[in-house]
A and B are shown apart, each in its own frame.
Chain A
Amino acid sequence: DAGVIQSPRHEVTEMGQEVTLRCKPISGHDYLFWYRQTMMRGLELLIYFNNNVPIDDSGMPEDRFSAKMPNASFSTLKIQPSEPRDSAVYFCASSLGLGNTGELFFGEGSRLTVL
C-alpha cells in the first residue's frame, strides 16, 4: 500500500492567495483527519470525516478554511484568502474505525509558507 499521499509537499504563496492542499487516504480506511503542526501550538486537529461526512470541524480556525471529501479516496483543505499566520505543516491522516481503537496513519505533510 502506498500509504497516505499528500500534495503538494511544499507550497510558498503570497498573502491573499488561495491555497488548496490535497490528500488521498489509504484504501479502505473510513476516517480521514486534517491536522496542523506549528512550533507554537504543536499538532492541532482541524477537522475529521467518517465515510466522507464531516464529523467534527470545531478545530477549523475560521471561515477562511474549508475542507471537503467528495469521495472515499480524496479530500481537500482550502484556505482562502491565506495569511502569514497560516504558515504551518498540514498533515492528513486516515484510520480504520475499529471500534475507535485504530491508529492513525499519517501522510508526509504539506509545508505551507505564506509570505
Chain B
Amino acid sequence: AQSVAQPEDQVNVAEGNPLTVKCTYSVSGNPYLFWYVQYPNRGLQFLLKYITGDNLVKGSYGFEAEFNKSQTSFHLKKPSALVSDSALYFCAVRDRNSGYALNFGKGTSLLVTP
C-alpha cells in the first residue's frame, strides 16, 4: 500500500520568512512524489514532482522540494513566503509498480501573514 502523511494541519509563517510544509511517504517500491496547491473554491494545481535524479526539485512560484530517501520525506520549501502563497497544500505519492492513481495526504493549510 502507498500513503503519505502531512503531520501539520496548519503552518503559519510571516511574509518574507522561509516556509516548510512537511510530507512523509510510505510505498513498497520507489516513489513518484508530487506537490499540489489548492486555492479556495478551486481545483488542485500541480506545483512540482520528483521522478528520479537530483533530490532537490524546483517547481512553480518559487517552490522547491527535497526528496530524502533515508527519511522517506519530501518536504516543500520556499525561501521567502508571500501572502499570496496562503492556500491548502497537498503531497501525493504514486508507487512505480502499482498503478497510475495518486494517493494524497490530508493537506496542510498555509497561512502567510503580512
Interface residues of A (CB under 8 A from B): 4, 31, 33, 35, 42-43, 45, 48, 50, 55-56, 91, 93, 95, 97, 100-101, 103-109
Taking a contact as CB atoms under 8 Å apart, the answer to whether A109 and B43 are in contact is: yes
A42 near B43: Cβ-Cβ < 8 Å:
no
**Contact, CB under 8 Å: A104 / B46:** yes
Which residues of B are found within 8 Å of A4, using beta-carbon distances?
A: 43
**Known contacts A42-B105, A42-B106, A103-B34; is-contact A31 B100 (Cβ 8 Å):** yes
Interface residues as binary, B5-44 with A (CB distance below 8 Å gives 1, 0 otherwise): 0000000000000000000000000001010100001111
Knowing A48-B101, A91-B43, A109-B43, the reply to whether A101 touches B49 (Cβ < 8 A) is yes
With an 8 Å Cβ cutoff, the count of chain B residues facing the other chain is 23
Bound Cα distance A33, B36 (Å): 16
Q: Give the distance to chain A from B49, nearest Cβ to Cβ, in Å.
A: 6
B107 pairs with A45, CB closer than 8 A: no
Say yes or no: A42 contacts B107, CB within 8 Å. yes
* A-B contact sample (13 more), CB < 8 A, given A31-B100, A56-B101, A103-B46: A35-B104, A42-B106, A43-B44, A45-B101, A45-B103, A48-B101, A93-B44, A101-B51, A103-B49, A104-B102, A105-B46, A106-B36, A109-B43
